[in-house]
Structure 1
Amino acid sequence: MADLRSIAGPFVVPGPSGVAIRTRLKNLTDQDELVLRVVGAHLGSLAAGDLKQRCADGRGHDSRRWAERKRDLTGLSSSRWAGSITKASHDQWALARRGLAAHVQGLQAGIDMLAHRLSQPVGQKGTKRVPGGCRSRQEWHAKARRLACLTARHAAALAEYDGGRVRVVRGGRRLLNARHHLAEAGLTEPQWRQRWQAARWFLSADGESGKRFGNETIRVTDDGQLSMKLPAPMAHLANAPHGRYLFACRVSFAHRGQEWADRIAADRAVAYRISFDAQRVRWYLAASWQHPSVPTIGLAAALVAGCVGVDANDDHLAAWHLDTHGNPVGAPRRFFYDLSGSANHRDAQVRHALSRLLHWAKTCGVKAIAIEDLDFAAEKTREKHGRRKRFRRLISRFPTGRLRARLTSMADQTGITIVAVDPAYTSKWGAEHWHKPMDSPTKKITRHDAASIVIARRAQGHKARRRTSPPPPDQRDRVGHRSLQAGPDVPGCEGPRRRIPGPRTRCASPDCDPNAGDQCAQHRSGHTTAHAQLMHSS
């Protein structure tokens, strides 16, 4: 039997470190929209030039070069606008470099897999852990060409990474490629041009603690008045003192509005970003800030009232409530969603399913939700899964990281702790140990429901197996022990109880009742009568 891989222990997922909320800017006048378009286009051109300089500097960039870039932009905008632009350029370069590093690792994983398969004899069968060889000489030849292609791409990507070169498209590479396929995208050239320009505008301002209402560049007062500090070349458009422009709309945040109001009342930093949705022709204002680091709750304290195990699947979340001893309570629940369509549609479906899950967990009275620590980042290559296109498509669109991040953020507001567990063997052991016992004519469960039990038990520190069933009625005792979960420190909780050392005689203990050895004194049917008849006959 092959050795099972080691299973990591459960851990409490840290809460979110920041908050981002958004609202729509309504009742904007024509002059307001004109100012937003002019300022956004001007700052967008400055951001594009600064990003070009940052990418050209590569790994040789330092604080002195950063100060020079900011100094060049200050005269064309302001010191605060220049600081926001340079910081955004630096963050964009760092994000592109992390993406390039992940691309290099993915290419190396594909090269290693193909090299192993090509080294095996043709027709060699593989196992679950080690892949075999190619099925035919034709496939071997195709994989050899694929290996040469990946090797060349890996060498080019590695050279770019070592040289500090990155590839960034302001506005998005997908939108850029849509310019050459307008018919497939369902756009005309003017429509595409409007979206492209709106995506390249720059209207973001970092917050400053201690300043009035937490931001001097884009300011929102406690009564909802929105104003903006105009760049130096646009100072003639100001309608308020100190080169500011007051907008006619009033801003209000429905989600976390009180938290935002308390923050600006204390003059704590709040960053703002104004964006334009060219498809809906709407303006939006997003506010964001960071949380102070708060120590996470302990694992034992989170599981004191039980746990809800969640098995994430392609079309639904399978959940089951477990008590403190690891026993399933009630019936399983399933929260369905649809991952087809656009990214916004998928994100809305996931949020709706998570909202229903959290509401149900609150009604159960638990303080923790256990979920698998899934990560398909290195599992999507065609070299590993080969012809399993359906499975590759499934794991490619499955939002593992986004699902856990959204669940953690949404659970933080409800007082529920998220516990991540190792996903090893949860579906296999759930189907083996829990599917059949929990299934009944009135309650049909799936293997995903059984996996949710294993996930919750692993978070609680219990083993996946149930206790052994009672012995048959014809063996020793007529009534055996119940098939319920015992504590993790109880002897024999995972199988037949171990023999306890000590004598196994029928002699009465000295500490027992004096009549314990007198069979006639016991209330046992037939014994006294039989004893009396025996004495009379003698």
Structure 2
Amino acid sequence: MTVLRPIEAPFVACGPCGVAVRDRLKNLTAADEQVLRLVGAHLGALASGDLKRRCADGLEHDNRTWAARKRELTGLSSSRWAGAITKASHDQWALARRCQAAHIADLEAAIATIRHRLSLPVGEKGTRKAPGGYRSRREWHAKSRRLHALTDRLRREKADQQAGRVRIVRGGKRLARTRHHLDDAGLTEDEWRQKWQAGRWFLAADGESGKRYGNETIRITPDGEVSIRLPAPLAHLANAPHGRYILASRVTFAHRGTQWRDRIEANRAVAYRIHLDVDRGRWYITASWQIPPAPTIPMSAALAAGVIAVDTNADHLAAWRLDVHGNPIGNPRRFPYDLSGNADHRDAQVRHARTRLLHWAKTCGVKAIAIEDLDFATEKTREKHGRRKRFRHLISGMPTGRLRARLTAMAEATGIAIIAADPAYTSKWGAQHWQAPLTSKKRTATRHDAAAVAIGRRALGHPIRRRTAPPPAHRSDEHGHRTAQARPDARGRDGPRPRIPGPRTRSAPPGYGENAGDQNAQHRSERSTEHVQLMLSP
């Protein structure tokens, strides 16, 4: 007997808690770019030194050491620049600690899998829930050596975790390693050097409510004028009073520009970050601020007009609209995307697919989109799937976490709720119970379309598996009437279904079939046993 894992109840995903918009700094003069480079390089050097001190403090860090670091940086920049640098260092150290804990969990899972497979005889087949033994003695020997290597690595990582040691590369470890493979990356040493320097600059300032336009360090006025408070060693470059430098560029923020303008006019905090895209040679500025989390609407209100169910795949989103009863409406929709290329291209592809999905949901009039609550963090390990390199690459490329986070943020602006459903057995049961019934001469339902229907029914609270026939030997004596649509204690479950006017019952006259469940109302030669017993009773 197969034991199914418990199915988690669907829930409405929480909305975003912050907003970030970006605009290009156009029409910068040569003097403006030179000032930005000098400020970024100076503050970047301070940020590198402060991050080194923060990592050296480790677990001994407290408010006293934080204040000492900020005090030293204030004389070399300003109090607000020092506060932004120390906060960024602390956040970066905390992120490295979380990544370290996740890496330790991956190592422990890999070691447990290898030990289990090494304990099995060579060539033993595995099951759906546990892998089998290795295929050959050669592979068994190679994995035994890898077990010792992973064990030593885990010991070092745990020692670093207990001591509070982390390893951080400002500018990115990947870019640092690219320095030794310039030919493979298609870069010259000068091009790499420009990327490396731009990645280590620091031009970010946190906002402060109550101050003029929400930020005293990097300030943008409602008409788009950008000014920067220069650090103390570079104050001689100022072209405005109070050590400020005004750029020749004007900023508008086409996306959410009204919200941003209302916020700065009320002197509410807005954080800014300036960075250089070396490949394009363009400067950009990003504005971000916090927003109060939107109240989560009840599940019943979100599903009042049905739901659009989405099945996430490696190259497309399979979607189907369902009514409140869990019945598919119309034809399925597919929103393709291409995940090849660099990260910016992949993100743009997924963003376009999300936009088309939201436009379709808005056109249909539904208020909810159901997606799977997927997490492949523990499913894409090398030790779990072994030689299935293509499968590991496939699930690693599926944008599950990013899709849900970005879709929730985009749906919040359109008033559409995102419902996360448990992904257990949706593909299997969808193909088993829904793919064939939804296939016709004019429509071919794929396995992904059927999985979308299963996801939507689970979000609506309906069972995925359809009515199954009882076994021939025991129709209703021992096992009862086997059905997935009504519980055994449901009243009237054996009665007739109500006839709802529609395409299939359009020709039925009023009142037709109302006595279908009454055996005595039929034209039969004998009375039912229940009716005879009722007539003989006193």
The TM tier, using the shorter chain, reads: 0.7 to 0.9
Matching residue of 2:11: 11
Report the secondary structure of 1:95's partner residue: helix
Contact (CA 8 Å) 1:238, 1:245: kept in 2 or not? Answer: yes
Aligned residue in 2 for 1:219: 219
Show the counterpart of 2:502.
none
Aligned-residue offset at 1:293: 3.0
Query: 1:488: how far off?
Result: 8.8
Q: 1:327 and 1:418, CA in 2 relative to 1: closer, same or farther beyond 3 A? A: same
Distance 1:2 1:117 in 2: 23
- 1:403 is matched with 403
CA–CA separation in structure 2 for the residues paired with 1:424 and 1:47 = 46
**Counterpart-to-counterpart distance in 2, 1:337 and 1:95:** 30
2:262 corresponds in structure 1 to 262
Distance 2:487 2:309 in 1: 18
Q: In the aligned structure 2, how far is the partner of 1:492 from the partner of 1:313?
A: 41
Corresponding residue of 1:388 = 388
Report the structure number with the largest CA radius of gyration: 1
Q: 2:294 & 2:361 partners in 1: Cα distance?
A: 23
Please give the alpha-carbon distance, in whole angstroms, between the structure 2 residues aligned to 1:135 and 1:228.
Answer: 64
Opposite residue 464 of structure 2, the aligned amino acid is: A
- Give distance in 2, aligned partners of 1:386 and 1:244: 59
- The corresponding residue for 1:312 is 312
Structure 2 counterpart of 1:377: 377
The within-5 A match list for 1:427-442 is 427-442=427-442
Superposed counterparts of 1:286-325, under 5 Å: 286-325=286-325
Secondary structure of 2:152's aligned partner = helix
User: For the residues of structure 2 that align with 1:489 and 1:255, how far apart are their CA atoms?
Assistant: 55
What's 2:179 paired with? 179
Query: Which position in structure 1 is the counterpart of 2:462?
Result: 462
Match of 2:133 in 1: 133
Alpha-carbon offset, residue 465 of structure 1? 2.0
2:421 maps to 421
Asked if the contact 2:16/2:293 (under 8 Å) is kept, the reply is: no
Deviation, structure 1 residue 30: 1.0
> 1: CA distance between counterparts of 2:347 and 2:272?
23
Kindly indicate whether the alpha-carbon contact (under 8 Å) linking 1:325 and 1:486 is maintained by their aligned counterparts in 2.
no
Total equivalences in the alignment? 489
The one-letter code of the counterpart of 2:174 is R
SS at match of 2:24: strand
Quick check: 1:491–1:498 contact (8 Å CA) kept in 2?
Answer: no
Q: Which residue of 1 aligns with 2:207?
A: 207
Superimposed CA distance per residue, residues 22-52 of structure 1 (whole angstroms, 9 cap, x where no aligned partner): 0000011111111101111000000000000
Question: Aligned-pair distance for 1:367?
Answer: 0.3
Distance of aligned partners of 1:490 and 1:313 in 2 relative to their CA distance in 1, 3 Å threshold: farther
Distance 1:442 1:265 in 2: 58
Residues 441-495 of structure 1, C-alpha deviation per residue, up to 9 Å, x if partnerless?
10111000000001011011000023469xxxxxxxxxxxxxxx979999499xx
- Quote the offset at 1:304 in angstroms: 0.8
- Aligned partner of 2:84 in structure 1 is 84
Determine if contact 2:318/2:335 at 8 Å carries over to the other structure: yes
Change (3 A) 1:489 1:340: farther
AA of the residue aligned to 2:382 = R
State the identity %: 68
User: CA shift at 1:523, angstroms?
Assistant: 13
Cα displacement (A) at 1:154: 0.6
Unpaired runs of 5+ in structure 2?
A: 470-483, 497-514, 516-520, 524-538
1:225 positional shift: 0.7
DSSP 3-state at the match of 1:139: helix
287-296 or 371-380, larger mean C-alpha shift: 287-296
| 1:318 to 1:153, Cα distance in 2 relative to 1, 3 A | same
Distance 1:488 1:418, change over 3 A: farther
Query: 1:47/1:440 Cα in 2 relative to 1: closer, same or farther (>3 Å)?
Result: same
What amino acid is aligned across from residue 100 of structure 2 in structure 1? L
The equivalent of 2:533 in structure 1 is none
1:49 corresponds in structure 2 to 49
Q: CA deviation at 1:497?
A: 3.5
Aligned AA (1:120):
L
Q: CA deviation at 1:64?
A: 0.5
Verify the 8 A CA contact 1:13 1:420 in the aligned structure 2. yes
Equivalent-residue separation in structure 1 for 2:143 and 2:278 (angstroms): 45
User: Where does 1:329-344 land on structure 2 (aligned, <5 Å)?
Assistant: 329-344=329-344
For 1:468 and 1:386, the matched residues in 2 are separated by 38
* 1:294, distance to aligned residue in structure 2 (A): 3.1
Q: Tell me the CA shift for residue 135 of structure 1.
A: 2.1
Match of 1:156 in 2: 156
Deviations 1:91-115 (A, max 9, x none): 0111111111111000000000111
**Alpha-carbon distance change, 61 to 51 in structure 1, aligned in 2, over 3 angstroms:** same
Q: Distance in 1 between matches of 2:522 and 2:78?
A: 99
- Normalised by the length of structure 2, the TM-score is 0.88
Distance 2:388 2:152 in 1: 25
Task: Report if aligned partners of 1:461, 1:488 keep a CA contact under 8 Å in 2.
Answer: no
